[in-house]
Structure 1
């Protein structure tokens, strides 16, 4: 059954959404006793990030989320992991100590409040250079004691997104959707549970990982490199964090991993994780009506995926 056609948000509607999110953050901050009289929006893509000046606090307000995903659960994970990282003395963004470290609901938005990081430098996003930091993060997260899911959000997210893309050739050609569904049918059982993964890749351990391109989500200042964005932390093989970073980056990771007593990257697992990431990006086209700039952002990824051979079966254990 095809999905109901959803109109694409206009630039005026997007700007209005951003203003509403900012206003909600200011209202929530004010209710919590902060002075946010000079607030301004710093960033607006999947989340609206608001500098609550003159208070040294930044609000993060999700405005674009996949169908079936609720922000609050992921936000609690992010807050818990960041506090735990800080308790270990690791360089990380931290929740603001000026308000309770919990998601806050206001005017239809759910938001979190963070200590403002001063002096942020432009990121060069060099995966090769940043891989030692990723390996170190994996060595720390392997000890995280909190409860997190196995590939959290992937199962429901991809299935619902593909359903929403039925009949939406303005978003994704039918042939692409058919191929993506076929590949997902092969690969999704792999990430249904740790035991399912172990049957295909026996001896390859899983652990708590960042879940969302940790090399990209580093915040650099003149004095530190901070880990950030733990919303998608979950249990998976480390290769989930390393997909599509390139051979040089993998070599850089392996060199750092050896020094930390971690295992080297398994190339078969990496290939499977890269195709799962491809399907995650295909599914993301369902969010284009909410975030039109995704169309351009996903274009090269989809072209690269189309040029690959379709994934037909899992490797034999």
Structure 2
């Protein structure tokens, strides 16, 4: 893996809308196709949220996750599948009483947030460590709840990917490693561009990188107009990269990306122009000690 860079493609997310990008993947088939096309351009990992196919709103429907994962694995057994566990941590205080949850609150007990991970057993599952203002709501991930989610992920044989939005999240990461809730060689993503978290810049990236556990395998990425500048910065800092319509809908100033695959293709060009090569899914599986799941194993482990 020396000299190689991992590309993750985040194909749809929770917040991007079809008003922002008319070709945003929404149905299970569209999401699976976007993942497979991204893999063709060099993505080794795909990060997946699902949407209600009728309304295009975010969903945690386990059947939708199963459908997407099965479609991908039927066509590409090597591609590394990363499922979100982010939904379920948002609190919206109502206008008349901040103790009363408002309509955008989606708080769930930790085990419900990772129920789909326990059943489907993807290769990777995100684990958000942030407690922060996010838009008009607050995202809440207490140390105890994160540890409970981490326990379910670990018992499922899935590798957690820690989403880090500010320096306090990295401090929590160290504490959870010390307490035994997390592995001392974590897979980490430094998220830059969310308004009240890490702001995207070379200085921010290097600062955050230097706070990580010494054995961390890390990705750095930016949202919005910072998506591709932070690809270059992450490569120069010897990290890995992430792009996709979850993080930005533009491939250059004022130009909508044709697809997730087009964004991966541009990221690949940046990586190669900077003198590195793109890691294959097989190489990343070896690095992360994630075996390929055969069709026989998948069918045997499938929920009934």
Name the TM tier (shorter chain).
under 0.3
More strand by share: 2
More helix by share: 1
Taking structure 1 as the reference length, the TM-score comes to 0.26
Taking structure 2 as the reference length, the TM-score comes to 0.26
Structure whose CA Rg is larger: 1
